Structure 1
Amino acid sequence: MNSIQAGRLSRFEGRIAGFGTKAGPRLVIGMWERSPFGRFADVMVESDSGHRLLMAPSEAVAEYVSSTYTFDEVQVVEVRFGQATGGEGAGGDLARRIRISAGPLEVTLQIGGPTAVGRLLRSVPRAFAVHPVWLQAIDPVARMLVPGARTSGSAGGGRREFYGVTRARAITAVDATWEGSALGGVQRLEPPVTFGFGSAPATPTLVDIVTTIRERA
């Protein structure tokens, strides 16, 4: 526990969507409601040839994210996200349709019900689910339950990162274009993306998440 508390903690609260497309590109989209940079979204794209692109909304976000993960190219572009028209779930619950735009990319996600892991998460109190000590302890279990996924690992630059997922729902459909050309329907996130120490789940998934990064002491 002492090693985890050694440095300042930066906390990002929001959602991450991970999915593949029939045209080849695989995407991981972070939509952050609360963070040291305020409300923002960033988009990570890996092509079928392995080229890794980050699209970020500001130089500050681009610098921070690219020092945490690994990319072949970084672009600062306008990145927007929000609920698509008619997208609200029952009782004002999590949006059923989410729209993201970033430079040449336009995406609308159709969100379904909880995944198997999402149902398991209901039994974990939120205070445990997002705590770095817990996330470090359960990392080996998380890797077995969701191949490619991690809850704790190195974040580059001497940082340590912890992923606390509190909810997981299936992405059932994707309408995406790149410079106006359709990317095709949603596919599994295979092979795993290689931006950092772990990948998003292979099954297209939207997760509610608290990401905690322990800065270098």
Structure 2
Amino acid sequence: MGSRWTFDGHIAGIGTTSGLRAVVGIWQDSPFGSFADVMLQQPSGHRLLLASTHEVAGFIAATYTFDEVRVLDVAATLTDHTLTVDAGPLAIRASTGPRTLLGAALRAVPRHLAVHPRWLAAVNPFAALAAPGARTYGTAGSGRTEFYGVTDLHHVTTVVVSWEGSDAGALAPIRPAVTFGFSSVPPRPSLAHVRTTVVEP
């Protein structure tokens, strides 16, 4: 077994009527400590990473594909029903609703199994059936493999997004799908509790 990196936290997928789409990572436990990052895709398709340190930016940029990387202060807080993000030109204020039916089903799977790479490789063919665009297993760049273990899911119900001082519009489906890597987020904006494992042979 080669090197392994494990990230425990949350991923929020948010779409807006302007076409701006954001994938926010809030990581409570990781090889880089606690941090947040934002993968942003503009209406033009331009893919942008906002990361808090050069070390974090380097790892994420080696795992996913971006047209631009910016290192700046990324602050994110997550309470029971509120997500707040301040990252340079980007500000997000989002509210989440009750647990979804899929979230309830995910919580029924014992966590030690739900985040295990072998389980995630086995259920990958069914992931897109449950959440279109999502995958649990795939190539993570630089010869590495990545596993997504989602253990809970809540819909995002309201959002206010500002980009470079302008309102990005109301909450909307994440369409077209983001194209940072092998997996997208579900079209309906949501907040997932997740463990991401990256393995290098």
Return the TM-score normalized by structure 1: 0.90
- Which residue of structure 2 lines up, in the alignment, with residue 36 of structure 1? 31
Q: Which residue of 1 aligns with 2:179?
A: 194
The match for 2:60 is: 65
The question of 1:125 aligning with 2:107 is answered no
Q: Distance in 1 between matches of 2:101 and 2:176?
A: 21
In the alignment, residue 109 of structure 1 is paired with which amino acid?
Answer: A
Is 1:102 the equivalent of 2:83?
no
Number of equivalences: 201
Further displaced range: 111-120 or 198-207? 111-120
SS in 2 for 1:137: helix
Q: Secondary structure at the match of 2:125?
A: helix
Distance 1:122 1:63 in 2: 33
Correspondence 1:144 to 2:129: yes
Alpha-carbon distance between aligned partners in 2 of 1:41 and 1:169, rounded to the nearest angstrom: 19
| SS, match of residue 78 in structure 1 | coil
1:73-118: CA deviations, max 9, x gaps? Answer: 00001000114xxxx5xxxxxx211111111011011010112211
Give structure 1 regions of 4+ aligned residues with deviation exceeding 2 angstroms.
Answer: none
Matching residue of 1:14:
9
Of 161, 175, 188, which residue of structure 1 is paired with 2:160?
175
Secondary structure at 2:151 match in 1: strand
Q: Please, which of 48, 52, 62 is the counterpart of residue 53 of structure 1?
A: 48
Aligned to 1:61, the other structure's residue is in SS state helix
SS of 1:140's equivalent?
helix
- Which residue of 180, 188, 206 corresponds with 2:191? 206
The structure with the larger Rg is 1
1:179 CA drift (Å): 2.0
Q: Aligned-pair RMSD on alpha carbons?
A: 0.9
**Cα distance, 1:54 vs. partner?**
0.3
Q: How far apart are the structure 2 equivalents of 1:13 and 1:29?
A: 13
Shift of 1:22: 1.1
Equivalent-residue separation in structure 1 for 2:65 and 2:43 (angstroms): 16
Structure 1, residues 147-196: CA drift from partner, whole Å, max 9, x if none?
Answer: 11000000000110000001000100111111221111111111110000
Q: 1:116 aligns with which of 76, 101, 126?
A: 101
**Equivalent residue number for residue 140 of structure 2:** 155
Shift of residue 23, structure 1, vs aligned partner: 1.4
The 2-side partners of 1:77 and 1:163 are apart by 26
Secondary structure in structure 2 of the residue aligned to 1:32: strand
1:166 counterpart (146, 151, 165): 151
Q: Which amino acid is the alignment partner of residue 50 of structure 1?
A: G
Identity of counterpart residues, as a percentage?
48
Name the residue aligned to 1:3.
none
Structure 2 residue runs of 5 or longer lacking an equivalent are none
